């Protein structure tokens, strides 16, 4: 009996031990996940202090916090000449800000931390925490709000600075190039709206800046800008919208240098259109052809062989001119070379394009032949884009057809008198059912003419139509794709979108996007109503 009871007790102990062992192998959850941002317990001096005269600010939290991207996120308004020192650099329950500037008297300052403060464990962000103080006897309490958008692109860049410049006896339009604004805020990385707070009553210039150099100055070479046309008065209830654009800088001749024999490259800034550019030899003008260097702010100046040690390139401005002396050296020359630039698989909206290494001056269609697969001649026309050195062929395309193009010797002649050898190539087309059609019905068009464009995901123009009165626009034989529709009000009727200019107080031409992408599928006809509203 004793042995039996002992066995029972042993089994009970063994069972409990086994259960305990199993329990030990389980994971401890630690309770619910922390989803709450850190809380500010205390600040020294107090937030919203007046008669502020401290050089150090301490912010204490209820848990360990860290700063993330503080250099981008922290916005101090008005801006300080010297950035404050913020410590510690590791996780801590307090943040110290040591000011390294002499503060202006009777001024309200705001330190907006954006999304830079987060707890150390779960990265829960303390959104938009602001520390505000005044060196005077009261806190300025007025505010303005609004939004920014890109004038041309559908998506607006992040971290756009919005600035107010006080209009006083020293104000002038060029202040944005040389001085800090009176007030500044930032759209951060997740929104296009802004709010400027703790502003004093007065008149201000309102601008938005994609500040590439982070120096609170407008640099037209690198920065996008948006501005309100009129000086604003605060207080105001208006909701401001600023359109961001990249200015075309004023034309400026930079340098000129010999690249190959009989070709000089001229680098510039701005727009070289309608500028007189001369190449001179002993003050005598030389015959030239000017072409564009692809994807660079440069032109190629082509000239025929000449005996000279140096040449002068003269660029004429409206009221002045600038000259470059180019020393000529032993260089190899470019030879005529014509290559196919377009695809051999032709869409019905495509054209056949050849690129020439040297500029062409003549094309002989009698020495060119275009045949279909049945060896029947096909009528065509050509156009030479001398700026881009592209020779373009246009002809009516049939579905499921093959074409054979031959440029016989002498079809093209370049600037130096060279002609081509025989060039042969072929192309093929698909079925109409491999493509889709899109009809856009426009409503509420405020003015004509307009430019209707279809773009892809990268903003590249895939199709375009210029309308002077049409409100029903049809695009046939589109490649299957997701398209974005945008409408440009072509106010100056030059058939391109024009950007703005701050000093001239001109806004960019209005662009309106259809809010959704349009799915054009093979063998589909899509009809879309587009109600235009900004």
CATH number at residue 503: 2.60.40.10
Q: Is residue 110 part of a domain?
A: yes
Single out the residue in 379, 398, 430 at which a domain terminates. 430
Q: How far apart are CA 248 and CA 251, in angstroms?
A: 9
Q: How far apart are CA 514 and CA 496, in angstroms?
A: 19
Q: Phi first, then psi: what are they for 175, rounded to 5°?
A: -60, -30
On whether both 159 and 124 belong to a single domain, the answer is no
Q: Is residue 32 part of a domain?
A: no
Q: How many CB atoms lie within 10 A of CB 154?
A: 15
On whether both 389 and 456 belong to a single domain, the answer is no
CATH of the domain at 372: 2.60.40.3710
Burial of 232 (0-12, 13-18, 19+ CB in 10 A): middle
Query: How confident is the model at residue 421, as a pLDDT?
Result: 96
Domain residue limits at 356: 338-430
Under a CB-based contact definition with an 8 Å cutoff, are residues 179 and 81 in contact?
Answer: no
Q: Is residue 266 part of a domain?
A: yes
184: which residues sit within 8 A by CB, 6+ positions away? Answer: 75, 76, 77, 78, 79, 161, 162, 163, 164, 196, 216
Q: How far apart are CA 171 and CA 233, in angstroms?
A: 15
On whether both 238 and 147 belong to a single domain, the answer is yes
Q: Does the N-terminal peptide bond of residue 89 adopt cis geometry, omega within 30 degrees of 0?
A: no
On whether both 288 and 358 belong to a single domain, the answer is no
Structural domain count of the chain: 5
CA angle 315, 254, 334 (to 5 degrees): 80
On whether both 285 and 349 belong to a single domain, the answer is no
Which helix (H) or strand (E) segment is 355 a member of? Answer: strand 352-356
Query: How confident is the model at residue 213, as a pLDDT?
Result: 86
Q: Is residue 2 part of a domain?
A: no
Query: How confident is the model at residue 428, as a pLDDT?
Result: 97
Q: What is the pLDDT of residues 446-502, one digit of tens each?
A: 999 999 999 999 899 999 999 999 999 999 999 999 999 999 999 999 999 999 999
Query: How confident is the model at residue 478, as a pLDDT?
Result: 97
Single out the residue in 415, 430, 445 at which a domain terminates. 430
On whether both 97 and 51 belong to a single domain, the answer is yes
Positions in the chain whose pLDDT score sits under 50: 1-28
On whether both 418 and 352 belong to a single domain, the answer is yes
Structure tokens at 417: 């008198």
Q: What is the pLDDT of residues 231-266, one digit of tens each?
A: 999 999 999 999 999 999 889 999 999 999 999 999
Q: Is residue 522 part of a domain?
A: yes
Query: How confident is the model at residue 88, as a pLDDT?
Result: 86
C-alpha pair distances (Å), 319 with each of 91, 260, 270, 316, 322: 62, 32, 17, 8, 11
Q: Is residue 369 part of a domain?
A: yes
CATH of the domain at 78: 2.60.40.1220
Single out the residue in 268, 296, 327 at which a domain terminates. 327
On whether both 117 and 165 belong to a single domain, the answer is no
Rg (CA), the chain: 34
Q: Is residue 111 part of a domain?
A: yes
Query: How confident is the model at residue 257, as a pLDDT?
Result: 95
β-pairing, 345-346 with 423-429?
A: parallel
On whether both 508 and 469 belong to a single domain, the answer is yes
Query: How confident is the model at residue 31, as a pLDDT?
Result: 55
Query: Which sign does the torsion angle of CA 89, 93, 97, 98 carry?
Result: negative
Q: Phi first, then psi: what are they for 478, rounded to 5°?
A: -85, 145
Structure tokens at 377: 């001649």
Q: How far apart are CA 397 and CA 493, in angstroms?
A: 31
Structure tokens at 367: 């020495």
Under a CB-based contact definition with an 8 Å cutoff, are residues 50 and 159 in contact?
Answer: no
On whether both 316 and 343 belong to a single domain, the answer is no
């Amino acid at each position: 009996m004793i042995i039996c009871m002992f066995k029972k007790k042993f089994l009970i102990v063994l069972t409990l031990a086994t259960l305990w062992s199993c329990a030990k192998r389980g994971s401890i959850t630690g309770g619910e996940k922390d989803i709450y941002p850190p809380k500010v317990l205390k600040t020294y001096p107090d937030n919203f202090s007046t008669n502020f005269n401290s050089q150090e600010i301490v912010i204490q939290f209820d848990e360990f916090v860290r700063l993330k991207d503080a250099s981008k996120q922290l916005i101090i308004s008005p801006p300080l000449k010297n950035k404050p020192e913020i410590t510690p650099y590791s996780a801590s329950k307090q943040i110290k800000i040591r000011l390294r500037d002499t503060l202006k008297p009777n001024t309200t300052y705001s330190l907006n931390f954006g999304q830079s403060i987060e707890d150390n464990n779960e990265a829960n962000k303390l959104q938009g925490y602001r520390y505000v103080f005044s060196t005077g006897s009261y806190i300025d309490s007025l505010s303005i709000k609004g939004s920014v958008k890109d004038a041309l692109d559908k998506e607006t860049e992040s971290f756009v600075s919005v600035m107010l410049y006080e209009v006083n006896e020293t104000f002038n339009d060029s202040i944005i190039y040389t001085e800090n604004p009176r007030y500044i805020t930032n759209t951060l990385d997740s929104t296009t709206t802004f709010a400027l707070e703790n502003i004093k009553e007065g008149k201000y210039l309102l601008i938005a800046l994609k500040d590439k150099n982070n120096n609170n100055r407008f640099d037209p070479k690198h920065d996008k800008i948006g501005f309100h046309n009129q000086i604003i008065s605060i207080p105001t209830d208006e909701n401001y919208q600023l359109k961001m654009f990249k200015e075309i800088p004023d034309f400026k001749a930079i340098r000129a240098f010999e690249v190959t024999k009989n070709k000089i490259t001229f680098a510039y800034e701005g727009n070289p259109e309608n500028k007189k550019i001369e190449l001179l030899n002993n003050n005598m003008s030389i015959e030239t052809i000017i072409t564009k260097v692809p994807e660079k702010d440069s032109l190629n100046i082509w000239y025929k062989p000449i005996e000279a040690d140096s040449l002068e390139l003269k660029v004429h401005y409206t009221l002045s001119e600038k000259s470059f002396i180019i020393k000529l050296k032993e260089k190899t020359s470019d030879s005529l070379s014509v290559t196919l630039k377009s695809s051999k698989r032709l869409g019905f909206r495509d054209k056949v394009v050849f690129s020439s290494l040297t500029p062409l001056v003549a094309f002989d269609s009698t020495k060119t032949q275009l045949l279909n697969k049945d060896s029947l001649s096909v009528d065509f026309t050509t156009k030479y884009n001398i700026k881009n050195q592209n020779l373009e062929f246009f002809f009516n395309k049939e579905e499921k057809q093959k074409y054979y193009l031959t440029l016989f010797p002498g079809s093209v002649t370049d600037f130096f008198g060279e002609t081509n050898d025989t060039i042969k190539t072929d192309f093929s087309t698909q079925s109409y059912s491999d493509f889709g059609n899109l009809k856009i019905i426009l409503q509420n068009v405020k003015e004509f003419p307009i430019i209707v464009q279809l773009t892809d995901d990268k903003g590249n123009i895939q199709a375009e139509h210029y309308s002077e009165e049409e409100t029903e626009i049809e695009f046939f034989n589109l490649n299957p794709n997701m398209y974005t529709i945008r409408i440009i009000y072509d106010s100056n009727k030059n058939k391109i979108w024009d950007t703005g200019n701050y000093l001239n107080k001109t806004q960019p031409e209005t662009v309106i996007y259809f809010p959704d992408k349009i799915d054009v599928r093979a063998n589909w006809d899509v009809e879309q109503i587009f109600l235009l509203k900004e």
